[in-house]
Amino acid sequence: MSNIPRYPFLISRTLDPLFGIFVGSMAFYTYERREGRQDGHTLNELVARRWAAETGRWSEAKPAPTEPAK
């Protein structure tokens, strides 16, 4: 077997992955705020849409279009 080097953890074995996800998310959010996006395509709107879809409230979050009265 090869000797795999063991590196010390930054925070702890459990919190390092969470810290990495947090730092990556904040870096993307900062980039997005600086560069700008079109309406409806921001990270906040994407997360809100996915959250509503996963929790089964998509129909409440975005009502279906109705036909105009004739």
Model pTM greater than 0.85?
A: no
Give domain status of residue 66, yes or no.
Answer: no
Give domain status of residue 63, yes or no.
Answer: no
Give domain status of residue 44, yes or no.
Answer: yes
Q: Quote the number of domains for the chain.
A: 1
Asked if residue 38 lies in contact with residue 46, where contact means CB atoms within 8 angstroms, the answer is no
Expressed as residue numbers, the domain containing 23 is 15-55
Give domain status of residue 40, yes or no.
Answer: yes
Give domain status of residue 9, yes or no.
Answer: no
Give 10-22 pLDDT, tens digit per residue.
888 888 999 999 9
Give 25-47 pLDDT, tens digit per residue.
999 888 888 887 888 788 788 88
CA distance 9 to 15: 9
